[in-house]
Amino acid sequence: MSKLENKISHTLEGIKVLDLTRVLGGPYATQILADHGAIVTKVESHLGDEVREWGPPFAKNMASYFINVNRNKRSIALDLKKTAGKKILLKLMKETDILIENFKTGTMEKWGFGYEEFLKNKFPRLIHCRISGFGSKGPLGGAPGYDAIVQAMTGMMTVNGTHESGSVRMGAPFVDMGTGLYSTIGILMALYERNKSNKGQFIDMTLYDSALALMHPHNANYFLTKKPGKATGNSHPNISPYDKFKTASNEIFMGIGNDAGFKRLCYALNLEELANDARFRTNGDRVKNRVELTKFIEKALSNVDGIKFSEKLLSAGIPAGPVRNIEEAIQHPQTKERNMVLEKDYYKGIASPIKFSRSEDVGVKFTPPLIGEHTIQILKEQGYSEQEIELLLKDGIISTQN
């Protein structure tokens, strides 16, 4: 039996998702679901998700920021401020398993679509996931949340950078992406529980909570020491050696997490005497004497080829690798081996990292949609006639681009 014949359907095939999110955390979550077979309908205003404009670069008049988290979705453009638009949304909900939104807290309730007040009883199997900055209650309840702002407010920036640089924003939007991942996990948990209870539920996700949860080991260190973390550059607050180092040819990063690995590193660097040096015998000793240890390692590495030495360390079971830029990483043979780049027409993106032994991911079924690109198609599937659709277009309730 061939590998293809041994595959089964996509893991989330048949699951229907109504995506009322914008920007990053929500769209990233729904793209994960779409990549594994969920039918995702993205609901936008006539202006569309604002990150469509977050460029350059652009392709098909869509910014890379939008393109990267909106594949495998269909888009319907509705004016949800009007009653007729809300009626279409309500009709779409009838067949929906998962509703995910990141409106300002209280918006769904204002429309009469609050979970406790309406959705819970109207659609008892519906899973409603809300993503907000801080939730609806507390001193920050209802406040808008953006990745970098939440990084600043949760201590994340204070442990990034160096003593000289001061607090620095993380170079990738880890709060948004992390919240998208946590939201996906919560949705899948709720789907699993629904199989037993036959009931949906409300999932209350916030950027603030997710950022705090991602702050390992700094939060754990604080609970034991009562000292807030501080920026340590590339080094690790709890492990040594765990840092970026210069070699004769390029920079490499090494992370030695146990004593056996440290001994192997010492022998690879011809520093056998350090393996039994009392200053470096345990990880705790090495963290305490980090400065002295780093000097020995830097001197030993100054005459070696970084790429070849990294390969030597990896073959010896020592975590190490050259510092590459984005282009070098994407074009590396390992990236190709793992099938991590997707292409279709103009579209290129990073594939889902989730790989099953039998189930397949979708690949690129739909390239990222134009605003309302599938509006008419979706409405026809809901039973709307040509005349009804024409009237909705005329009244500005719906719009479409194709």
Q: Which residues are catalytic?
A: 176
Alpha helices in 198-258 (DSSP H): 207-213, 218-225
Note the Cα 68 to chain centre separation in Å. 11
- Relative to beta strand 62-63, strand 98-101 is unpaired
* Cα distance between residue 240 and residue 292, in whole Å: 11
Burial of 185 (C-beta count, 10 Å sphere; 0-12/13-18/19+): middle
252's CB contacts (< 8 A; 6+ apart) are: 244, 245, 301, 306, 307, 309, 310, 320, 321, 322, 323
| Angle at 181 (CA atoms; ends 326, 368), nearest 5 degrees | 65
Contact indicator for 359, 293 with CB cutoff of 8 Å: no
* Cα distance between residue 34 and residue 270, in whole Å: 51
120's CB contacts (< 8 A; 6+ apart) are: 126, 200, 202
* Cα distance between residue 290 and residue 78, in whole Å: 59
* Cα distance between residue 237 and residue 222, in whole Å: 12
296's CB contacts (< 8 A; 6+ apart) are: 271, 274
- Give the residue carrying structure tokens 């907000």: 132
* Cα distance between residue 12 and residue 312, in whole Å: 42
